[in-house]
Amino acid sequence: MNNPAPTLLTETEAAQRLHVCERTLRKARQAGRLHFVKLGRRICYTPADLAAFIDNQRQCAANPAPATNPAPKTQPRVRRRGEVVPFSQRRREQG
C-alpha cells in the first residue's frame, strides 16, 4: 500500500521542460491556467500538471489559410491633393 510520491518539479525545472521562462509559468499559474502543488512556501508542478497545461494550450485556426495563397488584388493608389489653409483663415471662417 505504499504509494510512491509523485515526481515534483521546481519552477525552474518546469519552465525548462516547457521551454518558457519562469515568469511565463508564474503568470499562467496566477491566471489559473496551470495547476500546481504548494508545499509550505515552495511551488512545485507534477508532470501531469504540465501535460494538462500543454493540452489546454492547443489551438486550431478558426479560418485556416488556403493551401495556396493567391496574389493579393492591388488597386492603384489615388493621390489626392489637399489644400493648405492658414490657421488664421480658418478662424475667420469659423466665427
Tell me if 22 sits within 8 A of 28, measured CB to CB. Answer: no
Q: Choose between 14 and 74: higher pLDDT.
A: 14
Closest CA to 49 of 21, 18, 5: 18
pTM across the whole model: 0.58
pLDDT value at position 74?
Answer: 77
pLDDT value at position 15?
Answer: 96
Closest CA to 16 of 45, 41, 42, 37: 45
Q: What is the pLDDT of residues 35-83, one digit of tens each?
A: 999 999 999 999 999 999 999 988 877 776 666 666 677 777 777 777 7
pLDDT value at position 31?
Answer: 94
Looking up cell 518558457 gives 20
